[in-house]
Structure 1
């Protein structure tokens, strides 16, 4: 089995990261927060990067890539705290749409898509969407813990199992990215902040807390990649792998947020510190597309209910190869 990323996948990830670091830093988040949360120039940049066509078939003007590549990009979007509806539109909707004209419009950036599902009490960016899949949204704007999210009440929604798994997978990927950024912010602060004549990062207690976050992320990443691969290839256990990924990513994000706040001496709660943007995004994504209790129930039903065999002879699926 080869679990390494291909060179093309690494270059895709690094290219998206470099682009977002240069165009979507904390100063942009503060401007968006003050101006209403959306900027057409940011959407144009994402389109010009080719992200709207990432998983759209080549015949409709896309790149025809898979869910592993989509998850890699979603991690970077979470790391940069991007709020544009790029995940729903470009990384989820193309797998739910058969209409060639709509797929071409997504690839070109002309069509934005919102998603409605009974498990979610909201529809993100419904006011900008030219298409709402799975139901409808009202004009009622909802409050969010995350000031950069634009949420609207669900008027009608139909259960779509494929949509749920895709959206939960991409929420998990964004949580991993947000966790990575919070760990970076906490580590950098620990290097700069001094107490008793030395950086606080020199103290064992701080090191141990930060190391615990790094370990949680190391556990979450491979679970995420397995879920993306399994879902992309139609494996029977894919929904269970997705729930595992959402749980692992949520736990890592909650630990990262808590630890980063502690390292900042609780200043992370304040508006003056950039950390609060990623912390609030993590809170919001933790409850999106199935909260912790929802995905634990899915795992319990599969394992205790007998639908998923467990044991050393069941751990690895035969014939699984990445790349």
Structure 2
């Protein structure tokens, strides 16, 4: 059994990464933070890249790819700390609408003229909605309280948790890179702090946590795409692993930056705050830990090597 990504999948992710590297750097985040948090030109760029229609079937004007590809691109959105609600609209709402047979809005979502951001009761807020504004730890998230009834559909919850996990591994990757880069130039006792063994060990631990989280996220995406019964448990595992990796990396990156780590002057704070926000979105750690605990101890999830690839 081959668990590797195809060349097409890797090329897609690399293309999106390169695009964001050239169009969505820290200077853009600071510009958005100083204004209204949204720029129509950024959204149009996502449309032109075909990302808004990534999961939309071809007959409705999209590319018709699967959740695995969407998870890869969601990770790149996290790496870039993308402010626009691409993940919510195109990677969460679209597959949810398709699962319900609601195809009417897909063309408009694919061409970027409509943003359909779903709201779930587990969150209690709507992202980029029209309700009463709410404060967020992440300055680039526009949250509001919607007066409309919130959905309690478990499929929507699983899609949201999966894509949050994917973004978290991308965020963790970016924070680790920022920490490594800074460790090479920050000096102490006449040498870069990155030369100290203790710091090397901390950064290495972060790298291990991230690399261990990634296959868990990709497995959850495949499980959701295949619609297997154990998919919700794999999603919870992914959310836990990705959250832990991102929070650990954020804490280490802050330490690497010293007392400056918490300040607005350091770009790190955008990625750190997004990680904090996503850690509690679409089910917090306690919620997902309980789902795994109930499945394993309750006997609904068979464990052991003989069941791993069933």
Aligned Cα root-mean-square deviation (Å): 0.9
Equivalent residue, structure 1, for 2:110: 107
- Distance of aligned partners of 1:257 and 1:122 in 2 relative to their CA distance in 1, 3 Å threshold: same
SS in 2 for 1:83: coil
SS in 1 for 2:306: helix
Equivalent residue, structure 2, for 1:76: 76
Q: Distance in 1 between matches of 2:305 and 2:2?
A: 20
1:45-194 to 2 correspondences below 5 Å:
45-97=45-97, 98-127=101-130, 139-155=131-147, 156-194=149-187
Q: Deviations over 1:164-189 (max 9, x none)?
A: 00110000000000000000000000
2:124 and 2:150 in contact (8 A); partners too? no
1:201 aligns with 2:204: no
2:129 and 2:146 in contact (8 A); partners too? no
Q: Distance in 2 between matches of 1:76 and 1:249?
A: 14
TM-score, with structure 1 as normaliser: 0.93
Cα offset for 1:101?
3.3
Q: Deviations over 1:37-88 (max 9, x none)?
A: 1000000000000001101001101110000000000000000000111111
1:274-289 to 2 correspondences below 5 Å:
274-289=267-282
Q: Distance in 1 between matches of 2:83 and 2:298?
A: 38
Cα offset for 1:235?
1.0
TM-score, with structure 2 as normaliser: 0.97
Q: Deviations over 1:164-222 (max 9, x none)?
A: 00110000000000000000000000001111111100000110000000000011000
Q: Distance in 2 between matches of 1:146 and 1:223?
A: 26
Can you give the 5+ residue segments of structure 1 that lack an aligned partner in the other structure?
A: 128-138, 318-323
Cα offset for 1:316?
2.0
Q: Distance in 1 between matches of 2:151 and 2:274?
A: 26
SS in 1 for 2:105: helix
Q: Distance in 2 between matches of 1:14 and 1:315?
A: 30
Q: Between 250-259 and 147-156, report the one with greater CA deviation.
A: 147-156
SS in 2 for 1:100: coil
Would you tell me which structure has more strand in proportion to its own residues?
1
Q: Distance in 1 between matches of 2:160 and 2:132?
A: 22
SS in 2 for 1:141: strand
SS in 2 for 1:121: coil
Runs of 4+ in 1 over 4 A off after TM superposition: none
Cα offset for 1:36?
1.6
1:235-246 to 2 correspondences below 5 Å:
235-246=228-239
1:228 aligns with 2:221: yes
Equivalent residue, structure 2, for 1:132: none
Q: Distance in 2 between matches of 1:269 and 1:26?
A: 16
Cα offset for 1:158?
2.5
Counting matched residue pairs gives 306
SS in 1 for 2:144: strand
1:85 and 1:113 in contact (8 A); partners too? no
2:53 and 2:111 in contact (8 A); partners too? yes
Cα offset for 1:310?
1.4
Can you give the 5+ residue segments of structure 2 that lack an aligned partner in the other structure?
A: none
1:79 and 1:174 in contact (8 A); partners too? yes
Cα offset for 1:157?
1.1
SS in 2 for 1:109: coil
SS in 1 for 2:104: helix
1:114 and 1:124 in contact (8 A); partners too? yes
